[in-house]
Every structure is written in C-alpha cells, then in structure tokens.
Structure 1
Amino acid sequence: MLLTAKGRIVAVLQENCEIQELLVQVEGRPLPEKAYNYLGFNHRLAVNDTIKLNITAVELSLGTGGHHFVIPELSGEQSQSIGHIMKLRYTPWQFSLLAAEEAASPFHDQLVAARSLEGVPVVAAPLHSMLPGIILGFKSCLNYSPKVAYIMTDAAALPIALSGLVRELKSKQLLDLTVTAGQAFGGDLEAVSIPSALLSAYHAIKPDLIIVALGPGIVGTGTTLGFSGIEQSWVLDLTTRLNGIPIAAPRISFA
C-alpha cells in the first residue's frame, strides 16, 4: 500500500544540509503534521510551498517511521557522484555513489587484501537509540578520548540523515566516522556489505571501537525471528571471523 496526499508547508522546524523537518498542512486533515524532506533527493523547500507527501506510515500509525515524507520533484537540483554503486537499487529513486570498495576510492587497495580487524572491539546493538549509551559507557572506562566508528545497516531507516542522534554525537565529537552499509546511505563512507563496512571503518581511522546498529526505526512482527534486530547475531559472527572482539548489547525489558 502506498498512500499520498497534497500538502502546504506551514513552518520549517529544523534544517541542515541533509534534511528539513517541516510542519505541513495535509489536505483533508484538521491540524498541521510533521514531514521530512531529504535534500539529497529534493531541493530546499520554504513556507507556503505546495508539496506531495507519502503519508503511508502515518495512516498505519507506525512508531519511529510514523511521519510524512516529501516526494521529490524531478526539477530539484541533482547531486553528482563519480561512483558506480547503486543504492535503492531497481526503484525509481536509485542513485549512484562512490563506495569504499570501488577502484576510485582511496581505500580500494587496502580493502582488496583486508581480512582482519586486528582485535578491535565491535558492539552489535539491536536499537539505534543505544548509540549514546554505548559510546559514553566506553568513553568512561578510558583516560583518553577514543576514536569511535558507527556502521549503520539497512535493517531500518535507510538515510542516515534521519538520525538526529548521529548529528548530535558528531557535533559533540563523540563519533568520528559513519559508514552506511548495504542499501543504507549518507554516511561518511559507503559500503556494499556489513563485513566490508567493518573493514572500511578499521582502515579509515583505526578506531578504538566500532558500533554496528540499524538506523532509526525497527521492524517487529511478534514472532521469534521476524524482527530486524535479529541481524545482531550475524554481526557478532562476522566480527569473530574478521578477528574483532564481538560484544552484544542486549535489549532487555522487565515490563
């Protein structure tokens, strides 16, 4: 199901070079509602602009994903990339970018032979919201400022631009590098797969800690295996096989 609606921008709540958070009066609704505009796909919008929205998640009353998203206009400014790796593949919105593994990347030669994380600890987390706690907890155990890399998988939100947490952690110099893996996009580095993302992060900054977690949002079905956080299991296995130190960040509830 894909539901769309027209809307008019009432206010620009927040914006940066990647994303705009908007207040939009959606056609047929009594009160203005929040919407996001990705500037990698669309031009910057202003108050009173008329737009078209994807309203599916709000109609389904979803959690983190329960916001409207602006459907971009093809007349918007087009971004350029020398890369050839496609993300959002085989959709009308597929686009190319430079992945760390490509021949044109400065990391290509290292990644051709790379096989080991050389004992770097890797925390596999099942929730995006765990990022600050993991970083601050790790930092509190050290008497120096550690280098931290975050690998965002494609199990939840795909654009890293949606993450206010990542922006805040980077602005406070608590996060040094982001790598978006698989179909996720927008990180400091792009990687085709999670194991390649791990090695890319290692060779890029020699981090003291790597965190692997999905982006904002999580898929759950009430079944044992049908939830996006299950990727934690194979991240731990990959870390072991790449000679890293696997650490599981458990999601525990006593409710």
Structure 2
Amino acid sequence: MIRWRKGTVDSVRREWPGAIELDVTIDGDGARRALAYTHLVGRPQPGDTVLLNTTALALGLGTGGYAMVVAVPDRLPPDPTGPGHLVKARYTPLQATVLGADEQGSPHHETLRDADSLDGMPVIVADLHSALPPILAGLLADRPGTRAVYVMTDGGALPAWFSMSIARLREAGALAATVTVGQAFGGDLEAVTVHTGLLAARLVLDADVAVVAQGPGNLGTGTRWGFSGVAAGEAVNAAAVLSGRPVASLRVSEGDARERHQGVSHHSLTAYGRVALARAQVVVPELGGKLGQRVAQQAAPLGERHELVPVPVDRLEDALRAAEQDWGVRLSTMGRRLDQDMAYFLSAAAAGRHAAALLT
C-alpha cells in the first residue's frame, strides 16, 4: 500500500507557506521532485537523508506526483507546543494535532457553541479546487473588496499547504482566509465539520461570502456515485440548514475528452440533482452557441429541485486573465489551461458574479 524509499536532498526548488519543493536523489529511482510540509517534518536541507512515500509518484498521479517527505530521521523537528486537541489524519502515521475553532480550548468556542445561523451569507459550492480562483475572479470583478473565505473539505488533498493557489490568493488579497474541515488541516482555522467551518467563516472571520470545495486533487472512479465531489451536494445541505444562501457552481467543460464531463459534468448533475436535498440557486452560465444550449439542456432537470439562475459571462474572460496576471495564480483544471477549457473557468466565474449580485 505504501512504496517506501530513502533519498538525499540535492536542492530546494521553491517554497510557499507550509510547503517546500525539493530535488532529491532516491535510492533505485534516480532524481525526482519531492514535497515536504514544514509544519509536519521540519525544513529539509541539501545533504539531508529523507524518508519518502513514493506511491503516488510511481502511479504517475497528476496533483499527487511528488515523492512525499515522511521524515528527516537524522534531524527531527522540535516537539509541538501550544493548545489543540483536534486530531486530523486520524490514526495514520502522520496524524496531526491542531487547535479547532470549535473545540473547548479555543478562544472561539463561546462564539460557536450555540451558533446556528449564517444570516443569509452566500455560500458558493464547487466540485473542484481549481474553481476557487475563477470564482473569486468573478466575485471581485463585480464587487471589489468582498471578504471571501475558503472552506476546504477533505475530498482531495488533506493539507491546505499543498495549494500554491491558496498562498498566492492570500498574498494578493483576493482570499481573506481558509478554514480546513473534516480530516483536512492547515487552514487559518480548523473545524470538525463543514457546518462549524461555515459558522467560523461567518462569525469568526467575518466573511461576506464562503466558497466550499475540496482541496487540490479529486478522487473519481467513472461510476455514478464513486467520486469525492458528491460532497458538493452535502455542502449545499449544510449551507441551507444554517440559513445561508447556497449557490451551486456547475462543473462545465468543452475541453475534457471524457463524455461524462462534457458540457455539464455528471459530478454536478449527481451532487446537485441527487445528493443536495435543500434548495440552491444553480448558476447556469450563458455561454452562447451550441455549448450554451447543451449546458442549458443538461441543467434543466436540476430545476425540479433548485432555482436555475442564468448568468451572463460578458467581461468575465477579461477578469480571469487579469486574475492570472495580477494575483499570480495559474488557472488550470485537470491539466487544461484557460484557453484550453474556457467554459470551465467562465462557469465558475459566473457563480462568483451571482454571489456578488446577492450582496448588492
């Protein structure tokens, strides 16, 4: 189940908050890229011997295609200090103890203990982590200064530190904070569930809008129910039960070679059409042409349960290109860049645009 290797650090490639990318020479495998989470294993340095998990690397996984540093055995980091009794990645060799915003020892416990309402805050729900930058681009293009908080679920990467997008969005001021929920960790705040994560975003971090999506990566099996994005439907339910305003962002593609993801992805149709029991506003981007007609037709059955909201996409391409340039984020989904799957990014940006309209 785990492919263990030892290696030697050759050099540091780059780093961002919480993570450091390395060049390593792995016994029997040669030179490879590796990733270390500094909060978990410390800071590897050139010449260090490192213990590595190379399972994802051997499988050729996209977002998981690193050798992961498990430990620097000859130079262990200091013992953790400070409060926190929430254990995440529980009962794994790398289980981590964090301070949960909702636990008894937290300074926010009293705020969250009996909290039960988001007071109508828009909650944008998306399938993939790659939707976060375009959602923010659409939101902030129409309503600059909106305070957006990302609630990261545990369907993809568990450490928020894996995401360079989060780091760059924070640095650019496009994202106010991140709350990691479930087994995910590494956010500005930690929470046990999506529910307390949303409440923390609103009541502790003073969010105007929350965006809920899984971390980088996505688990899918090509079956109707076997994909991590079903959690998008559950997030709609959480937002609704807490008196938020769920805004469902459709996963749309014109560049995905797989039939089940062309036009509106079956992920969106299943998550919103079958899993989401509460009513949401489903944003249907007005893409025009044959693709726009196909998207409208595919989304139509969702109108039996939800409110379908057509949203124009004029000027959103300009907003997306400005986001790449001004924020330093790389707009990419499943390896496809902006010009290779414009419909995907416009659809996410349209959800951000609609949330902006709800705040005016």
TM-score bin (small chain): over 0.9
- The Cα offsets for residues 128-154 of structure 1, whole Å up to 9 and x where unpaired, read as 111110011011112x41101001111
User: 1:101 aligns to what?
Assistant: 102
Q: Supply the distance in 2 between the matched residues of 1:19 and 1:219 (Cα, whole angstroms).
A: 22
2:195 matched residue in structure 1: 195
Counterpart check, 1:226 vs 2:226:
yes
The Cα of 1:115 is off from its aligned counterpart by: 0.7
**TM-score, normalised via structure 2 length:** 0.68
SS of 2:35's partner is strand
Aligned residue for 1:241?
A: 241
> What is the rounded CA distance, in whole Å, between the counterparts of 1:76 and 1:104 in structure 2?
25
Q: Which residue of 2 aligns with 1:166?
A: 166
**Whose helix fraction is larger, Structure 1's or Structure 2's?**
2
> Structure 2: how far apart are the matches of 1:244 and 1:60?
41
State whether residues 84 and 96 of structure 1, in contact with CA within 8 Å, keep that contact through their aligned partners in structure 2: yes
Does the CA contact (< 8 Å) of 2:16 and 2:164 recur in 1? no
1:20 aligns with 20
Using the alignment, how far apart are the partners of 1:141 and 1:216 within structure 2? Answer: 26
Tell me if structure 1 keeps the 8 A contact 2:118–2:243. yes
Structure 1 residues 41-60: aligned runs within 5 Å = 41-60=40-59
In the alignment, is the contact (CA less than 8 A) between 1:107 and 1:203 conserved in 2? no
1:41–1:78: 8 Å Cα contact kept in structure 2? no
Corresponding residue of 2:65: 66
Q: CA RMSD in A?
A: 1.4
Q: CA deviation at 1:17?
A: 4.9
Cα offset, 1:108, TM superposition = 1.0
1:81 is aligned with what amino acid?
G
SS, match of residue 252 in structure 2 = coil
**Residues matched between the structures, number:** 253
Q: Distance in 2 between matches of 1:199 and 1:123?
A: 14
Asked if 2 retains the 8 angstrom alpha-carbon contact of 1:18 and 1:38, the reply is yes
The one-character-per-residue Cα deviations of 1:184-243 (angstroms, maximum 9, x if unpaired) are 111110000111100011101321110011111100101011011110011011111111
Cα offsets for 1:15-50 (capped at 9, x unmatched): 2451110011122224x2111011111121111222
Contact 2:154 2:182 (8 Å CA) reproduced: yes
> Counterparts of 2:93 and 2:48 in 1: how far apart (Å)?
24
Letter in 2 for 1:131: L
In the alignment, the residues of structure 1 paired with residue 141 and residue 173 of structure 2 have an alpha-carbon distance, to the nearest angstrom, of 15
Secondary structure of the equivalent of 1:41? helix
> What is the deviation of 1:93?
2.3
Counterparts of 2:67 and 2:147 in 1: how far apart (Å)? 35
Partner Cα distance (1:71, 1:93) in 2: 8
Which range moved further: 189-198 or 80-89?
80-89
Aligned to 2:181: 181
Take 1:50 and 1:78, find their aligned partners in 2: how far apart are those partners? Answer: 20
Q: Percent identity?
A: 40
Q: Which amino acid aligns with 1:71?
A: V
The equivalent of 1:6 in structure 2 is 6
TM-score by length of 1: 0.95
Alpha-carbon separation, structure 2, partners of 1:213 and 1:79 = 29
Structure 2: runs of 5 or more not aligned: 257-360
Rg (Cα) greater in structure:
2
Q: Aligned partners of 2:25, 2:92: CA distance in 1, in Å? A: 28
Quote the residue 1:88 is aligned against: 89
